[in-house]
Amino acid sequence: MFSGCGGLSLGITEAARALGRPAEHVIAVDLFPEALQVFALNFPEVRPVGERIEHVVDGSYDDALTSQERKLRREAGDIDILVAGPPCQGHSDLNNHTRRNDPRNSLYFHMVRCAEVLRPRHVIIENVPGVIHDRSGVVERTTAALADLGYFVDGHVFQAATLGVPQRRRRHLLVASKEHRLSLASVAGSYSADPRSMEWACGDLVGQEKTVCFDSASTPSERNQERIDYLFDHDLYELPDAQRPDCHRLKEHSYKSVYGRLRWTDPVPTITSGFGSMGQGRFVHAGQRRTLTPHEAARLQFFPDFFRFDGVARGALQTMIGNAVPSKLSYVVALELLR
């Protein structure tokens, strides 16, 4: 549910493969057509559903199943893992206007109804760390309801960099299982790894740029190209305020990383859908006078090169890659759930 292009599903697939088990993806639900296109390209057995979650699961928790829900249960069959990444904008710290009090936050609780309908053995729900501060207590309510359905439930904020992902991305996972009483903090500790750098992830792609959008950077405005050149000409990683637009230059601000340059030797900050613009974050390449290509961003999101993004335009690529979750997070959890 809320499948995106399949980052979480990729991690579960690779965990199953590591345990010598096949993985079959039955249904993927998302409103982003290009993301469903990429999901189906990589998991061709799936049935993509481009509908709102309220239409797919249209009943209320603890009520009798609707005819639509009975049909969904029949079509889905016996489910091992239900995985979901509800839209996170309502919880994100980047959303200063409505975070922690956003109607989209209620989509989180729809996963309880999905679990009630599909009766999976395990449930994985991911979101940004801010979800735990939602004013309606959506995490607490979801936890309590899943426990009432017979699941052992735990939540934890994972730091992707401590799992070997070359990115300082933090995500909250809520995991429910009818078979395992997991401590997610212990899982994170068991799979801890040394931080990996930007160079580890995509250093080999330098010089491999192409004209196709997956392997080419977006074209900056003339002024932003001047800013990129300034960083390199002065061997800087932070753009001085004097070189920034008036909204930064003329007042105090906390956006130090915006317009900044990445470092080869460090994990990168959180990749977002704005990675093609230096004005959206620290997205200037460490060694090239440009921003990141979608291929580089995908590598930094832990997508392997065998994962296909064929035939997708730049804007859609940036959105689906920026919104994805590094597959290593679901990989380590699924390894424990599927044992």
Buried b (16+ CB within 10 A) or exposed e, 140-164: ebbbebbeebebebbbbbbbbbbbb
* Strands laid side by side in the 122-127 sheet: 81-84, 122-127, 170-177, 152-159
Distance CA 152, CA 178 (A): 6
Q: Please, how many CA atoms are within 13 Å of residue 69, restricted to the half-sphere of its CB?
A: 20
DSSP 14: H
Structure-token pair, residue 276 = 């093609």
Report long-range pairs for 98-103 (Cβ below 8 Å, ≥24 apart).
99/130, 100/130, 100/133, 100/134, 100/135, 101/134, 101/135, 101/136
Indicate the residue type of 11: G
DSSP 264: T
**Would you name the residues annotated as active-site residues?**
88
Secondary structure (DSSP) of 147-201: HHTT-EEEEEEEEGGGGT-SB--EEEEEEEESS----HHHHHHHT------HHHH
28: helix, strand or coil: strand
326: helix, strand or coil: coil
Measuring CA to CA, which residue among 138, 108, 106 is closest to residue 123?
108
H helices of 7-127, in order, are 7-18, 33-42, 53-56, 67-76, 110-118
